[in-house]
Amino acid sequence: MINGGRVPCRVREIVNRQYKAVFTPTQSITHTIEMRFNGEEVAGSPWHIPVEDRPERRHETNRTTSYYSELSGAGLVRAPVNKVASFEITGEGLETNDIQAKIYGKSSLVPGFSSKTVDNRKYLKVLMVANSRCEFCREETADTPPSIA
Can you give the residue ranges of every domain in the chain? Answer: 1-53, 57-149
User: pLDDT tens digit string along 8-22?
Assistant: 888 777 777 677 778
pLDDT at 112 over 50: no
Residue 141 near residue 81 (C-beta atoms within 8 A): yes
Nearest Cα neighbor of 116 from 134, 129, 140 is: 134
State residue 76 phi and psi, 5-degree precision.
Answer: -80, -20
pLDDT for the residue numbered 9:
82
pLDDT at 138 over 60: yes
- Please give the DSSP secondary-structure letter assigned to residue 6: T
The DSSP code sequence of 45-86 is -SEEEE------EE-TT-PEEP---EEESGGGT---BTSEEE
Largest Cα span, the chain: 50
pLDDT for the residue numbered 28:
82
CB burial string 63-75: b at 16+ within 10 A, e below: eeeeeeeebbbbb
What's the rounded mean pLDDT across residues 103-120? 41
Helix (H, G, I), strand (E, B), or coil: what is residue 137?
strand
Q: Is the pTM of this model over 0.85?
A: no
User: pLDDT tens digit string along 58-95?
Assistant: 555 555 555 566 777 777 777 777 777 777 777 666 66
pLDDT at 120 over 50: no
Q: What is the mean pLDDT of the chain?
A: 65
pLDDT category at 107 given cuts 50, 70, 90 is: very low
CA 88 to chain centre: 7
pLDDT at 38 over 50: yes
Q: Which fold has domain 57-149?
A: Immunoglobulin-like (2.60.40)
